[in-house]
Every structure is written in structure tokens, then in C-alpha cells.
Chain A
């Protein structure tokens, strides 16, 4: 795409109308204003797309195997480790990294911080896609994926934490779709529909906070069902839901920094003037929020160790691993965030955000897999399981990019003729 934007000044599509005054057709909008053959060329020319295609082809074969012959074809099918990467990464890590939607929604809509407006839509999109693909991962992992809606319509276990997660993720998905509909409406030249969403945006945002608080916490609370299986340092019965909720805050914020950094770096042609101009300032703002949340998180982690009286466990091998996770995943990026705010060096904040995202994934994998059955053997996921996890992530990446290329996520849509 980069090559084209330099040759064809009317591209990419910034608004409803071409320079000559005629409207972009839907087909043209879908193919980024290029003839289909040209569009196809840009798609196949990229080495990244070729890598993605290779991952997908093999991945889809494994997925077919999984659906026809059962999970044991691509996983170890362990009765000791019922949850593997699909949930450990796909659900428990994707969901906190997608907390961005409700966080920026709260910042902009509830607290009236309009200075974060230019990144709000990206945060919402990041949230929506993260949740959607968490459900996709779930659909790979569930034994009977066709019964996904059973807890909603067929049989109810309302005392179960997972019941709450199911209901909240489903409700929150629809809330996030509603929050993002304006971008789609504008892209489809249906601006008049946007006001219906705007009217309920406060309600949607508050619903988002409630649902997020509860299901981010609930993902942590799910592990309180296994008090004897997870290493006590990673499981604090009383604080688990707060740990998960609090870490979701800096996870979501950091993920927006990561995502906006990548978009700004790899598709500058797509970024609107406002977005580019605001990005450094916003990144530092997000870094600030992130470092506060991290500090809070560290305090609660410490409180949990004190409350459960696990000091001597810190001196064991597991304790060393625990401290390493906290040092690399939380303390290091927190200090970097703080430094970046003081020195104004945005690069530091961006690096810190990447480390934070890694730290969150690490923490969730530790809780769900590494420190699960800590008194038993370690289960290293089957390579096909890793491949399929990568496959779903590749689809997530492609969808994400597809939408950012087209919908007014990081730019403002021009719907008047003269400015286009």
C-alpha cells in the first residue's frame, strides 16, 4: 500500500468522495480505491502476507483435524491439564489486553477527557477484536463448540463463575459493537444513524465498566476453584479477582500503545493528521495511567503475599520465578513509564508498553499453565497447539489490519466534497 500512496495522490481513501467529486463505491472502498487486480497484487507482494498465508494453510489443516478427530489430535489431551494455550493465552491473556475499550471509553466519555479522543476508537476496536477472538479461541477449545449459547438459553448454572464470564463477555461484545458502529456508519455514509448510538453512549460506557470490572475479575476468580492446584504465590483466594482486574488496566492501556505504535510506524499513510499530532502526547498520558495502575498492582500483590503469609515461599525456586515475573513484567516497565513521563521520551514508554504486554501474557500463562499443578509434572503444549494458537492470532491480526485500513479508526472521515 505504501508504494501506491506515493504514486496516486488521491489514495488512500479519506472520505466519501473522489477528487473529481464522485462518490467512492462500496467495492472501491473495500479494495482501498484500487482496481481488484492491483489490490490483489499489493496483498500478495507483501512478505508478511506470505508468512501469514503459510501459517493459515497449515493451521486450517490442524483445525480440520481437531474438529473431525477431536482435541487430542492437536493437543496432549491431558486430563491433568484440562486448559492449555487456547484458554491460557487466548482467553486469559487476550481479554485483559482488550480492556482498552472500556478504559478509554471511561476516560473520554465519563471523565470528559476529550484530549484522548483521537485514540478512543482504536482502543474500542482493540477491545472488540480482542474479545471476539477470545471467543474464537474458546470455540477451538470447547469440547462441544456448537453449544456455546447453552449457558444463555438452555441450561443455567448461575452460581458458577464461568456463567458470569459467559454472560458478561457476550453482553460486553454487543456493547462494544454498538460503541464501534459509528465508525462503520460513517464509512457507509450513514452519518444520520450515528446519533442513535451517541445518545446511549454514556449508558454503553457505564455498562462497559460494570461488565469489565466483573468479568476481568471473574477470570481471576475462576482459578479460586483450584486452591490446591495453583502455586500459592500465583493464587490468592481473597485477592485474585483484584489482581486480574488491576493488571487488566495497565494491560489494556499498554496494548493501545503497542497497537498505535505499530500503526503509526507501519501505516503512516493511514493515520490522520490529528492522530499523528496527538499520538506522542496521548502515549505519555496512557503511560502515566499505566504506571499508576502498575504501582497499585504491586501494592496489592504485596498485600496478598502478606495476607496469605507467604514470605518464606519467596525464597524458594518458585519464589524466584515469581519475583522474576514481577521484576520484568511489572517493575521494569513501570520504572520505564515513569522515566518516559519525566523525560518526555516517548520511545521509552513504547518499549515499556511492549514489555508490559509480554509481562501480562507471561503472568496469565503462569497462572493457567506453568504454576497450575505445580506439584506435578510440567506440561509443555503440543507444537500443533502452539501452531493453531498462532493461526488464530494471525486471523486476529489480519482482521485488525483490514479494519484499520478502511474504517475511520485512526483518521477522521471527510464527508464533504470539496475537502476530499
Chain B
């Protein structure tokens, strides 16, 4: 990630960085190294196999110690559109939710499991000004509540609307999102709780590169059943969770307008001007000052203007 290193070192050259390095140079130096981890894990979600049983939700709730839901996991009324006419979404009490999409021309609805997609270059991570997010070599994007300030920029930046905030806590608010069961499972190479709970094998866990091959093979074998696209292979720079769908992805709530580049790429234009302004502006404006106040030098200044004193 040459560009990242370059940008970081340039920023470090700035006012902020110089001061920072006085405090904790070691920590600064390791910040925001968004490495690509070729051997990381992922999950392939096959919408043709999901029956909407919500076992994954129940397993997640148990594994992550989340509060008991208002209605049991067998309750199908949760699939109804919410007050804003939208499919349900993750919140501070549910890291994963299953959405239902009805198609009048088909006899059965489609279900889609939503959770953090664990981007390869996560926007939440790159937008976080206290470096609260980490992309682990195993593939999980995890969050550190001990440094989070609660600015919620990650929620703005996430193109999948995944991070949530427990607004109802005054003293211990925090971001809540799926962490790929990192602490309890992924770290040890085990699949997350939701995958293990899936009775339909709609979710398969494995190395991301292998999953892409599996997905391709499924598309090749059953061309009529699948869209010829693996959602997450390239979207927003690629995600660890990948999706296969029988219908166009836009019809099952996927954002198909996402760029293939990581979200950070759009921000780099601004970040690139920072060192320019920091280095050129002082000289430029000091020069303007000298030119603009030159006339005053000719007649000897009588009442000691402050321009005189600054020299």
C-alpha cells in the first residue's frame, strides 16, 4: 500500500503529525496500515438456499450475548416493512438480520442475511479518527470501544449501513456491529456462530479466495439459477462476505451503484492537497504580505505599525 504510506508520512510532516510524533511516535507509525490479507476468511451467502428460518440470528444473539429480542426468532412478522417502508436493518441489539423480499411472479419469497460484510479496505476503519477499527489477518473488522469517541463517522462512511450506535445509553454508548465472532471463533479458525447454525448450508465459511472459486463454479453449473455476479468480489474494494443471487442484486436490496474502488479512494483527492497547503501557503502568504505592504517601507514609518514590528 504505497499510497497509504506516502500519505501517512506526508501527514506526519504536517503540523499535527509533528506534534503527534512527540507524544507516541511508535503508535502513529503503525496506524492505518491497511494490508491486504490474501489468506483471510470469508463467508459465501447463497440466496437461493436461504429459507428465512432466522437460526443465524438466534445463534448470533446467543454467541454475542445480545439482549433478548422483543419477539421470538420464529416470529415472521419482523419481515414486514418498518415505519419508513423499508426492510429491517441491523441495530444495537442485532448484529445480523434476515430480510424478506417478495416477488409476485414467484411462488416463494427470497431471503437475504445482512451483517457486516467485513470489507478488505473498510470505510469505517479509514474514516475513524481514533483508529478504533482493525482489519485482522483472519478477515474480521473488529472494533475497540475503549478509544471510540462516538462521532459516528463510521456509520456515515459504511456503504452498507452496518455499524449501529446504542443511542439509549448515556454513560456507556458504543458502536455495535458484527465482528465475525472474532474473539470466540474466527481467531481459532472456526466459522462464526451464524454459519454453524445454518441448516440449509446457505452460508459457507472458508478462505475468501476459495469461496470465490466455489461461487464461480455454482454460477457455471447452474447458469439459469444465478446472476452472473458475485456481490462483494469487487464492491467497495471487495468484501470478505460474498453473495450469490438468483435475481438482479438491486431487487434484493443490494446497492449496485457502489464503486469497485474502496471508499477511501474518493477521499484521497483531498488528503493529497494537505501537504501542498501546509508547505506552499506559508511562503505564498508571507510573500503576499511583503508585496502588499512594500509601499509602506518607502516613507519611514512614523507610528510603528505592527507590520514593522514583525520584521
Contact = CB atoms under 8 A, between A and B. Distances in A.
Contacts of B7: 159
Nearest to B147: A155
Interface residues of B, number: 82
A222 interface: yes
Contacts of A68: 170
Interface in A301-334: none
Question: SS class of chain A's interface: helix, strand, loop or mixed?
Answer: helix
Contacts of A69: 168, 170
Contacts of B128: 157, 160, 162
Nearest to B133: A157
A82 B156 contact: yes
A158 B28 contact: yes
B69 interface: no
Contacts of B286: 202, 206
A111 B309 contact: no
A156 B130 contact: yes
Contacts of A199: 309-310
A163 B16 contact: yes
Contacts of B28: 156, 158
Chain B CB within 10 Å, residue with most, of A111, A157, A222, A241: A157
A377 B167 CA distance: 20
B132 to A, nearest CB: 7
A376 B130 contact: no
Given A222-B153, A225-B267, A210 B278 contact: yes
Contacts of A200: 310
Interface in A199-224: 199-203, 205-206, 209-211, 213-214, 217-218, 220-222, 224
A75 interface: yes
Given A83-B156, A112-B289, A206-B282, A144 B173 contact: yes
Contacts of A164: 11, 16, 274
A224 B282 contact: no
A184 B284 CA distance: 31
Contact of B89 (A66, A80, A167): A80
Given A159-B31, A206-B286, A143 B263 contact: no
Contacts of B246: none
Given A70-B167, A224-B270, A376-B84, A79 B288 contact: no
Contacts of A168: 16
Contact of A75 (B16, B20, B167, B174): B167
A153 B163 CA distance: 25
Given A151-B149, A164-B274, A210-B278, A158 B170 contact: no
Q: How large is the interface on A (under 10, 10 to 19, 20 to 34, 35 or more residues)?
A: 35 or more
B167 A109 contact: no
Interface in B11-30: 11-12, 15-17, 19-20, 23-24, 27-28
B32 interface: yes
B269 interface: yes
Nearest to B84: A377
Interface stretch (A24-32, A226-234, A284-292): A226-234
A151 B277 contact: no
A383 to B, nearest CB: 17
Contacts, number: 235
A150 B130 contact: yes
B126 interface: yes
A44 to B, nearest CB: 34
Interface stretch (B41-49, B206-214, B251-259): B251-259
Interface of A: 66-73, 75, 77, 79-80, 82-83, 106, 109-114, 141-145, 147-148, 150-151, 153-168, 171, 195, 198-203, 205-206, 209-211, 213-214, 217-218, 220-222, 224-229, 237-238, 240-241, 376-377
Interface of B: 4, 7-8, 11-12, 15-17, 19-20, 23-24, 27-28, 31-32, 84-86, 89-92, 123, 126-132, 147-153, 155-157, 159, 161, 163-170, 173-174, 255, 257-259, 263-264, 266-267, 269-271, 273-274, 277-278, 281-282, 285-286, 288-289, 292-293, 296, 305-307, 309-310
Given A70-B167, A202-B307, A227-B159, 9 more contacts: A82-B156, A112-B296, A143-B149, A150-B130, A158-B8, A160-B129, A205-B285, A222-B153, A225-B153
16 contacts: A79-B161, A112-B296, A145-B150, A147-B130, A156-B28, A157-B128, A157-B132, A159-B32, A160-B129, A199-B309, A200-B310, A209-B285, A218-B270, A224-B270, A228-B259, A238-B269
